[in-house]
């Protein structure tokens, strides 16, 4: 990876395996908006970003060194060699053709609080409506960053809301989960940073104690919000995929089941 500043932009070259559409619009994060020129605008970590790709260069528009090195490198997992991971996964027959077709999916390192709320909202829901509910949540309770973009509201802020407030956003029966979740995190009964630092099994056990969090949501939070790459969320799509692996996953998935899962999830949504 080579980083160069050109006026207000940061241009990164030499990042292999990074497709903007496949990474930002694949159902792991819900706050990136595709622009007409196929660039993306979004908010993460309280920061607005406009990112585009030209040939093999990633362009971070109007981005400071501080934000780039202090946040985005980690968020986009730019130091990790996803190409090497893909080559490893391709010893599986189904993934071999899938990766050829959809090369460039990365796992974003989202904030655990946002991931937790997002995936509680995601249950028994479709991606379009998940985005709708989250955007309403941010518009109403986040801080405005300009141009209609908002931060994801803090647990402290959301702890002031009632079940009815969450229901008004269209959260449906998940409103009661969100209400209790926000109060528990704001009050310190749930310490996400501590959970993130635990060994996987213990971290998962802690997440499963949370009202409204089951195995699927817990695995999503661990994978997308806490960097446990071996977690493999099994949703309705992945359960269909599992019929292709009656004897379980092959050995080449070991330790990176979550990355394999992202490719299989994408394949399933397009082919099953």
Partner DNA sequence: GTCCAGGCATGCA
Partner DNA sequence: TGCATGCATGGA
Contacting residues toward DNA, per CB under 7 A: 26-28, 119, 122-130, 132, 167, 170, 172-173, 176, 210-218, 220, 233-238, 261-262, 265, 269
Half-sphere exposure of 227 (CA within 13 A, CB side): 13
- Tokens, residue 152: 């994801």
Of 60 and 225, the one with the shorter C-beta distance to DNA is 225
Of 151 and 262, the one with the shorter C-beta distance to DNA is 262
- Tokens, residue 143: 């801080």
Residue 241, C-beta contacts closer than 8 angstroms, at least 6 positions apart: 264, 265, 267, 268, 272
- The backbone region for 38, taken as left when phi is positive above 0, alpha when psi lies in -120 to 50, beta otherwise, is left
The separation between CA 54 and the C-alpha centre of its own chain, rounded to angstroms, equals 23
Torsion on CA atoms 197, 200, 206, 212, rounded to nearest 10: 120
Of 112 and 262, the one with the shorter C-beta distance to DNA is 262
Q: How far is the CB of 250 from DNA (least distance, A)?
A: 18
**First vs last Cα of the chain: how many Å apart?**
36
Q: How far is the CB of 272 from DNA (least distance, A)?
A: 9
Q: How far is the CB of 259 from DNA (least distance, A)?
A: 11
Q: In Å, what is the CA distance from 220 to each residue of 28, 34, 73, 170?
A: 8, 23, 21, 22
Q: How far is the CB of 124 from DNA (least distance, A)?
A: 4
The dihedral through the CA atoms of 64, 66, 69, 73 has a sign that is: negative
53 is catalytic: no
* Cα–Cα distance for residue pair 73/81, rounded to 1 Å: 13
Of 146 and 199, the one with the shorter C-beta distance to DNA is 199
Of 78 and 115, the one with the shorter C-beta distance to DNA is 115
Q: How far is the CB of 258 from DNA (least distance, A)?
A: 9
Q: How far is the CB of 7 from DNA (least distance, A)?
A: 35
The dihedral through the CA atoms of 223, 224, 226, 229 has a sign that is: positive
Of 11 and 242, the one with the shorter C-beta distance to DNA is 242
- Helix residue spans in 34-111 (DSSP H): 65-67, 73-75, 82-89, 93-101
Among 73, 82, 27, smallest CA distance to 51 is for: 73
Bridge partners (DSSP) listed for residue 54: 57
List, by residue number, the catalytic residues: 216
């Amino acid at each position: 990876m080579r980083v160069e500043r050109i006026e207000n932009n940061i241009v990164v070259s030499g990042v292999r395996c990074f497709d903007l559409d496949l990474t930002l619009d694949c159902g792991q994060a819900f706050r990136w908006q595709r622009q007409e020129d196929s660039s993306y605008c979004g908010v993460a970590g309280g920061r607005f970003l406009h990112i585009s790709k030209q040939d093999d260069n990633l362009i971070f528009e109007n981005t400071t060194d501080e934000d780039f090195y202090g946040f985005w490198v980690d968020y986009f997992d730019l130091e990790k060699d996803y190409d090497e991971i893909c080559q490893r996964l391709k010893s599986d027959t189904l993934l071999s053709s899938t990766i050829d077709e959809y090369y460039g999916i990365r796992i974003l390192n989202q904030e655990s609080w946002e991931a937790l709320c997002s995936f509680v909202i995601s249950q028994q829901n479709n991606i379009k409506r998940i985005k709708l509910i989250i955007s309403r949540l941010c518009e109403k309770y986040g801080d405005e960053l300009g141009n209609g973009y908002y931060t994801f509201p803090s647990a402290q802020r959301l702890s002031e809301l009632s079940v009815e407030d969450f229901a008004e956003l269209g959260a449906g029966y998940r409103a009661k989960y969100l209400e209790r979740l926000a109060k528990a995190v704001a009050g310190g009964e749930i310490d996400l940073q501590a959970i993130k630092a635990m060994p996987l099994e213990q971290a998962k056990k802690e997440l499963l104690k949370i009202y409204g969090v089951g195995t699927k949501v817990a695995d999503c939070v661990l994978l997308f919000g806490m960097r446990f790459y071996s977690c493999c969320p099994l949703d309705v799509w992945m359960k269909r995929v599992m019929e292709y692996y009656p004897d379980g996953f092959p050995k080449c998935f070991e330790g990176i089941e979550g990355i394999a899962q992202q490719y299989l999830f994408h394949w399933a949504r397009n082919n099953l």
